[in-house]
Structure 1
């Protein structure tokens, strides 16, 4: 696969996430990956939608500073339950607590997406919501799931692209790839607006 897009620009994913990399590869465009090196600290009382949009844009801008002719994709995701932002659990105990709290309830995931043209400065930013309704989960089900998949670096304590799908009653949203972390339906439209034909 060539290193650049047909017009000579580079497409760069500002992320170290293997899940986002796998998703972007579905569009069959040549792209590179760079770590964005940004501070992801939430501002006091910052709403989930504002936070995820800000972080997606910050990631894209951090990488765009190093590139002269590139389209840079930044993305970030946060989960929210009862108005409270739920982060990555980091360990087994926190993951179990998150899943106990989410059991039988709905959690909304907000995925921020930014496409930044480093040459023109044109920046497109959107936030894609996606609702997950969890099944009623027993302590044994939660333990069995966590022992098998260990989703400690995933917001909400699950991997929907893996065994985590067994935790859900239903999914509600326009783009299932947004739940994994990179909304490809919206990204396709953004790329086309920036002059990149996916098809």
Structure 2
């Protein structure tokens, strides 16, 4: 059975646009997924990337065009200027980590609900009440927002180190453990699908 390490940011528009396609691909090939939220800003700093706020205007303009194009193609509504942006992604990432450890709910749905909250619902994913509602909606104990804080912070930091060591430099990023094949971006999911079919 193949195993996919999935590195992402709960505030990333590209993670939002990935939707449920990763999970559909994994199910088709009987692959398992480990969800690894990372601090994207620190990841950019560590791997030669540029934080969005520091990018040249031409790059930001092109990013907007691409986001609009992909949103339209995939049929996923996207607010180009979210009400809560930039946002502290750490609290929602801690919740994902705690939920993965606890089990029993829809982890993929939880991840998707956080990115959808930012880009389609105009919600603040750093707000404890929003996080509780998302945990509950995905079938997890909303109390994880508090009880999962310590483990979440520890793993979040470790995920960043693992990401850097594994060659991750953006999000979403998918690594197939068995082959060490790496796929960066929601627009590379078809390649991941083809790779898993060939294993």
TM over 0.5: no
Higher helix share: 2
Q: Please tell me whether Structure 1 or Structure 2 has the larger radius of gyration of its CA atoms.
A: 1
Provide the TM-score with structure 1 as the length reference: 0.28
TM-score by length of 2: 0.28
